[in-house]
Amino acid sequence: MRPIIGITGRPHVVASAGTTVRTYRADQTYTESVKRAGGIPITLIPMAPDAMPQLLDMIDGLLIPGGGDINPERYDATPHEAVNGVDDERDTFELEMVRRAQDRRIPTMAICRGLQVVNVALGGTLVQDLPSHTGAHGHDITGEGAYEPHSEALIDPGCRIASIIG
């Protein structure tokens, strides 16, 4: 049976019948990657905490994608002027989903903002504005482009990632 991977939806506003409506989307890069890896992607939209057990019962893995900043109040900080894209409904949902997924030992992949969500969900804090802290701008740390390698990761030889990538 193919694993079902829940991807938390990214808020998006679209035009509809002369007005705008709030929607949630899972970007194609994420859904296609899940499909190519043999999984079935589903988009998870913010739900109340009482619905989360049922959501978690339905999935085999959780993917927390990128997006706007986490509200600094979530980690007891005063917002920096550069903070943008804060969405309290998304923050509430993703932070609680991460905590509950961890309690259930559901495999979780976190990308960009998702890594920040995991960090905050587990009690961490964040540097709110990397350019003023490190001189980096956006994802472009080396000047080579947004997706050029710019960080080194050390993999523990005994961990699951090491067994997967060799």
- Residues 9-51: pLDDT tens digits? 999 888 888 899 988 999 998 999 999 999 999 999 999 999 9
| Total domain count, the chain | 2
Regarding whether 150 and 113 lie in a shared domain, the answer is no
CA distance 154 to 164: 14
Regarding whether 148 and 91 lie in a shared domain, the answer is no
Regarding whether 113 and 148 lie in a shared domain, the answer is no
- The residues pairing with 8 across neighbouring beta strands, listed in sequence order, are 44
Query: How many residues would you count in the chain?
Result: 166
Regarding whether 83 and 56 lie in a shared domain, the answer is yes
Look at 126 and 149; give whichever has higher pLDDT: 126
Task: Judge whether residue 147 has pLDDT over 50.
Answer: no
Task: Judge whether residue 142 has pLDDT over 80.
Answer: no
What proportion of the chain, given as a percentage, has pLDDT over 70? 88
User: What is this structure's pTM?
Assistant: 0.81
Q: Tell me which residue range forms the domain holding 162.
A: 136-166
Query: At how many degrees (to 10) do helices 113-121 and 88-104 cross?
Result: 70
Cα 44 to Cα 6, 114, 145, distances in angstroms: 6, 14, 31
The per-residue pLDDT for 146 is 46
Regarding whether 120 and 153 lie in a shared domain, the answer is no
Task: Judge whether residue 153 has pLDDT over 80.
Answer: no
Regarding whether 72 and 150 lie in a shared domain, the answer is no
- Average pLDDT, stretch 116-138? 82
Regarding whether 166 and 123 lie in a shared domain, the answer is no
The per-residue pLDDT for 53 is 96
Question: Of 22-31, 41-50, 127-136, 155-164, where does mean pLDDT reach its minimum?
Answer: 127-136
